[in-house]
Amino acid sequence: MKRLFPILSVLTAILLAYGLYLALVVAPTDAQQGDVYRIIYYHVPSAWTAFLLFFINFIASIQYLVSQKPSGRSAMKWIVIAIGVLGAIATYLPIVKKQIPAGMEPSAVATTVLAIPAFYFLTGWLFQGDRLDVLAVTTAEVGVVFCTIVLVTGPIWARPVWGIWWATGDIRLTSTLVLWLIYVSYLVLRRFSNSAQTQMLAAALAVFGALDVPLVYLSIWFFRTQHPQPVIGGGGSMDPKMLRVLGFSWLAFLCFAFLVCWSRFRLELLQREVEEALAMESLAGAAETAKASVPLSRSAR
């Protein structure tokens, strides 16, 4: 695996460079916004990548919470299966179809629901024990980075288009900022808390924070917002060439996020191994000190 990392790094660098070329040169200029719209090829893939990482963090956190008790693990397994099956079927019921935003296909909703059990079992198969917690903190850290890119590139686009940096009260912008603050709080808790329950508390906070992701994504469908309406799966339209460039940019961002997560995951494992070794060394030293002090106390008598 270590030999594979340099190869993937070079391929990812090529993808990012070619994606930049497509965004700046190949993609056509928007008729209304001009060239400023090209920031979408970084803004939108960053948002999608952040959502995916927070979703993985959510799944890993649930896995870690239920892994503490075998009964909880078994119960959650059947709950997740029920959510996937019943949720996918429910999206095709007439009463549920009426609640789906215009332009959003029931098949897309069903696929998203089925992704929950798929990711849940895949995560549980690939990661076990403390590795689930390592995966959770890794995806949270990298997700915050991509969410920060979203919050930075959004106002850069808004200034020439809206005439302001930030639309106060806009539900999409506000909910994204809240999402960022929740996961920053998650990382602060992980960094500065020394409690034995820190990992459990952080996992619970991650589950709570993930609830904001659907709100961010669906806000432009259910609320009046100044943020542009969706052009993908929302009844809008997008030039096919623009759509292909956007898809390629997201692929490049996913590869980059995977490499960063891979590096951070390995670093976190090594750091925990070092901390465990130091703790064992300290315990061994304390035991030796205690043994050495026993003869001294007897001779003093």
pLDDT tens-digit series, residues 111-149: 888 888 898 898 888 888 889 999 999 999 999 999 999
CA end-to-end distance (rounded Å), the chain:
62
Average pLDDT, consecutive stretches of 10 residues, N- to C-terminus, the chain (301 residues): 84 95 90 85 93 94 86 86 88 78 72 87 87 93 95 86 71 86 92 81 88 78 63 63 91 95 92 84 77 58 49
Place of tokens 């003869």: 295
pLDDT of the residue at 188? 93
Beta bridge partners of 34: 30
CA 211 vs CA 33, 127, 128, 178, 234: distances in Å: 33, 23, 24, 11, 21
What are phi and psi for residue 34, nearest 5 degrees?
80, -155
Task: Supply the pTM of this predicted model.
Answer: 0.87
Longest dimension (CA), the chain: 95
